[in-house]
Amino acid sequence: MKPIIEYSNFRQYLLDYYEERKRISAFSWREFSKIAGFTSSSYMKVVCDGKSKLSKIGVERVAAAIGLTGFELDYFRAMVKFGQAANEETKKAAYRDMLAIAKVHKVRVLEGDLFAYYDTWRNPMMRELAPLMPGATPGEMAKMCYAETSAQEVRESLDFLTRTGLLKKEKDGAFKQSETSVSGTPDATRLALRGMHRQMAQLAAPALELPATERNFSGVTMGVSRESYDRIVKALDDCRRQIIAIAAEDKGIEQVYRLNLQLFPLTKSIKENNNEKA
Residue 187: the pLDDT is 60
Q: What is the pLDDT of residues 132-184, one digit of tens each?
A: 999 999 999 999 999 999 999 999 999 999 988 889 999 888 999 876 566 55
Sign of CA dihedral 223, 201, 162, 2: negative
User: Taking a C-beta distance cutoff of 8 angstroms, is the pair 201, 260 a contact?
Assistant: yes
Range scoring the smallest mean pLDDT among 2-6, 66-70, 111-115, 264-268: 111-115
Residue 134: the pLDDT is 92
C-alpha 215/C-alpha 236 separation (Å) is 19
Percent above pLDDT 70 for the chain: 91
Residue 110: the pLDDT is 45
Alpha-carbon distances of 255 from 16, 127, 174, rounded to whole Å: 46, 12, 17
Query: Model pTM greater than 0.75?
Result: no
Average pLDDT over residues 32-45: 94
DSSP letter for each residue of 86-98: SSHHHHHHHHHHH
Compute how many other C-beta atoms are within 10 angstroms of the C-beta atom of residue 60: 17
- The number of residues in the chain equals 278
Residue 70: the pLDDT is 85
- Phi, psi at residue 236, to the nearest 5°? -65, -40
Q: What is the pLDDT of residues 39-67, one digit of tens each?
A: 999 999 999 999 999 999 999 999 999 98
